[in-house]
Amino acid sequence: MTTAPHVTPQSKDAIVAEHYRRLAGRYDEFLYYSPQFVRTLTVKMIEKLALRASDRFVDLGCGTAMYSLDIVRQVPLSHAITGVDPFPEMLARIPADAPVRRVALGALAFSALPGTYDRILMKEAVHHEEDRAALFANVSARLAPGGRLLLVHVPPTLDYPLFDKALRRAGQWHADPDELVTLLTRAGFAVDRDAVEIRHAIPRRRYFQMVESRYMSVLSSFSAEEIAEGLREMGEKYGGLETLVFTDHFDYITAVKPE
């Protein structure tokens, strides 16, 4: 996996772990945005997964399960969702009465366990996996014939009102969609690409607070001094705006296992 300058794979793992453990209590506050935002993404997820009520569904890297819980509101599943996340702090934010079987494991470790599933979702989680070839091979073995893996992720090039160093590092922190397609094809999947774009309008002060809190994992790779410097740069660039308007682009990469 390509990493940002001065961030080794080992240090990136530690950064990501610290990020999600620290942010767990406020994750939905920062990343939920609105019910309309979540529903726009989940409608497309359901379409690309071709999700059926009878499917055995895995949310791999589920976090607080905000997306899979909205999915099950639209498609009542016969089986409990299998929600997989390496951080118990994130799983603990899932409502106790939610139809979710919680599994505290990383995606690669879970994919190596015995089990058969019909549909697997990875929402903004694949870029945290270093050995994606092994992951996709394992997922292929876990999926039933005709099963589907859906990767929903933010690409390396961002249209976010961030400071320049963060934008440059995101270019190496996030997964390359072309590389993902290549690896999935090598693993034997038929691959389809699609995308969803959503326009955000966030009060400047609110967005600056989000950056200060390092709401994205890539921001957690910067020191407090670097974040403060970045915020000063953002203040010079966006200080005259009350509202920041920008586009969130999500790649939807669907991998279908042959029948």
The SS3 of residue 189 is coil
What are the DSSP E strand ranges found in 42-128?
Answer: 57-60, 81-84, 100-103, 117-123
Q: What confidence score (pLDDT) does residue 4 get?
A: 39
Residue 165 has pLDDT above 80, yes or no: yes
Q: Are 15 and 3 in contact (CB under 8 A)?
A: no
Locate 145 and state its tokens.
């014939």
44 burial level (CB within 10 Å; 0-12, 13-18, 19+): middle
Q: What's the confidence (pLDDT) of residue 213?
A: 92
The DSSP result for 136-162, as a single string, is: HHHHHHHEEEEEEEEEEE--SS-B---
For the chain, percent of residues with pLDDT exceeding 90: 80
Mean pLDDT within 82-92? 95
Which fold would CATH assign to domain 9-157+174-198+248-256? Answer: Rossmann fold (3.40.50)
Task: Find which of 15-24, 100-109, 151-160 is predicted with most confidence, using mean pLDDT.
Answer: 100-109
pLDDT of residue 35: 85
Residue with the two structure tokens 């991998």? 255
DSSP assignment of 198-212 equals EEEEEEHHHHHHHHH
Rounded mean pLDDT of the chain?
Answer: 91
Asked if residue 83 lies in contact with residue 100, where contact means CB atoms within 8 angstroms, the answer is yes
Give the model's pLDDT for residue 113. Answer: 97
Give pLDDT, residue 3: 37
Query: Is the entire prediction scored with pTM above 0.75?
Result: yes
Encode pLDDT of 41-84 as tens digits: 999 999 999 999 999 999 999 999 999 999 999 999 999 999 99
Reported confidence tier of residue 24, pLDDT bands at 50, 70, 90: low
Predicted local confidence at residue 51, as pLDDT: 98
In sequence order, the 6+-apart residues with CB closer than 8 A to the CB of 6 are none
Mean pLDDT of 179-208: 96
pLDDT tens, residue by residue, 209-257: 999 999 988 898 999 999 999 999 999 999 999 999 999 999 999 999 9
Q: Residue 31 — pLDDT band, cuts 50, 70, 90?
A: low
User: What pLDDT does residue 33 have?
Assistant: 73
Indicate the domain borders of the chain: 9-157+174-198+248-256
